[in-house]
Each structure stands twice: as C-alpha cells, then as structure tokens.
C-alpha cells in the first residue's frame, strides 16, 4: 500500500503507523508539528517502511492548506491509494462548556476540517479507480451522553458522513473504514479515570490494520465496545438522564 497518514506521531495513530512500517508499506506523514513528523518518519524508516518516509504540514483547522499537502504526498508516493486519518482534538464537556474558543476549535477540527479533507481525498482516490479511506471517529458519537455532548456531536456527524460515503461510493472502488474506538489509554485521555474496558494503542492498531486489509466498513476497538454501545443505544431516555455514563 501507499499510505497517506494524518496523525501518525502520537497514540493510536503512532501504533498503527508502526505496524504499517513493519509490514514494509510506503508512508507519507501529515501533521502540524514538522519536527515531530521528521522524528516519526525516521523511526518508521528504521522499522522497515518502504523507501524514505516523506512528510508535509497539514492542520485540520486550516483547510486552505489541504491541497498543497495532498499534492506533496501524491508526488512522493506516485499516487497514494490508502489514507488514514487518526488526528483529532479532545476536551472534556466542562472544558468545552466554559471555553468558547476551545469549543469552536474542537467542532472545527473534528467535523468540518476532517470532512473537508476527506472530500478532497475522496475525489483523488475515485479519479484513479478507488482506494481505502480509514478515519477514526469514536463510540462517543453513538448516542448523546452527558459527559461527551459536544465532542460526541462531532463524532456522530463524522460517523454519519463516513457511512454515507461507504453507501454511495463502495461500488466505485472507494472502501471507507470507520474506526470507533472506546476509551483508549493515550495522552489524549491522560488524567481521566479509565472504564473497565479501556484499551491500549497497540491493541487498537492490530484490530484496525486487520479491518483496513479486509475493507471492513465499521470497526470497534477494542471490539468489546461494539456490545457496550449496543446496550447504551437500547437504554430509554429516562435512564440516560439518570446515569452519568
């Protein structure tokens, strides 16, 4: 595969990028911090990535820069065929309620910016016969819940967008893979009390890579979250108003 990767320097994205490199896939990294990207690129080369790993600046809050970043990736990889987007922002519900600027940024990055990037990627992949688009959403978007009202709303919108892509374009060769992680122990969740089914980045990476290979449209990681959220979706509203989950 020739993989364009946004979010490969930290957490689940880093674990997944390392697995891709160990398999000898060709990689190109996008992100905000060029120094982090360079360090990650050199690490992935040592792990076995095919050829040199290129990188370019790309910020989901600045859609005007998407085209140039994608052009650089296309040139380096001679046309990427797989795109992985793990980047996103998280903040707690109290933080988002109290800080309007932070709230606006989370809404912009997690939904608007991500969708606009995916739209540019979609057009490029379809123009060359298709490919794979793997995007990390979250189980937070499965249902409106007290602790993640605003963050969850961004992920709900993203999940519905990705599902629509899969319905419309899979027959044209575009395989859309929506990843819905539950609570995973990363820097993003540092300081929060982990629930009983909290996962590790490496476990998520293993599950997601298998889903990419198979073109599976939806994957929960760790897998137990599929069943946890099935129960949550079935709870009546009067119960959801009383519980804090």
* Residue that the structure tokens 């001679």 belong to: 78
- Give the Cα separation of 55 and 27 in Å (integer): 9
Rounded CA Rg of the chain: 17
Strand partners, 30: 6, 56
Tell me the CB-side half-sphere exposure of residue 121, using CA atoms within 13 A. 29
What are the tokens at 109? 């990055």
What are the tokens at 146? 């007290």
Residue 160 appears among annotated catalytic residues:
no
- Give the Cα separation of 135 and 197 in Å (integer): 22
Name residues whose C-beta falls within 8 Å of residue 16's C-beta, 6 or more positions apart in sequence: 5, 8, 84, 86, 204, 205, 208, 209
Q: What are phi and psi of 195, to 5 degrees?
A: -75, 175
Of the residues 151, 160, 161, 220, which is catalytic?
151
Least Cα distance to 135 among 103, 157, 107, 108 occurs for 157
Q: 146 in helix, strand or coil?
A: helix
- Give the Cα separation of 76 and 26 in Å (integer): 10
* Residue that the structure tokens 């994957």 belong to: 219
Catalytic site positions: 151
């Amino acid at each position: 595969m020739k993989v364009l990767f946004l979010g490969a320097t930290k957490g689940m994205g880093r674990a997944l990028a390392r697995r891709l490199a160990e398999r000898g896939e060709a990689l190109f990294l996008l992100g905000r911090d060029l120094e982090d990207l360079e360090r990650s690129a050199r690490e992935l080369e040592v792990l076995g990535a095919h050829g040199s790993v290129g990188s370019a600046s790309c910020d989901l809050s600045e859609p005007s820069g998407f085209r140039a970043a994608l052009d650089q990736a296309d040139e380096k990889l001679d046309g990427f065929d797989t795109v992985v987007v793990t980047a996103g922002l998280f903040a707690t519900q109290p933080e988002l309620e109290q800080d309007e600027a932070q709230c606006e940024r989370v809404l912009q990055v997690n939904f608007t910016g991500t969708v606009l990037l995916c739209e540019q990627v979609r057009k490029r992949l379809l123009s060359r016969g298709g490919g794979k688009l793997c995007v990390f959403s979250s189980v937070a978007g499965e249902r409106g819940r007290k602790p993640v009202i605003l963050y969850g709303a961004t992920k709900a919108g993203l999940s519905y967008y990705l599902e629509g892509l899969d319905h419309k374009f899979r027959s044209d060769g575009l395989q859309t893979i929506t990843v819905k992680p539950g609570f995973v122990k990363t820097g993003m969740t540092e300081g929060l009390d982990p629930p009983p089914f909290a996962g590790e980045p490496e476990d998520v990476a293993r599950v997601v890579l298998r889903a990419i290979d198979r073109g599976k449209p939806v994957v929960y990681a760790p897998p137990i979250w599929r069943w946890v959220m099935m129960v949550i979706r079935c709870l009546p509203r009067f119960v959801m108003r009383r519980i804090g989950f």
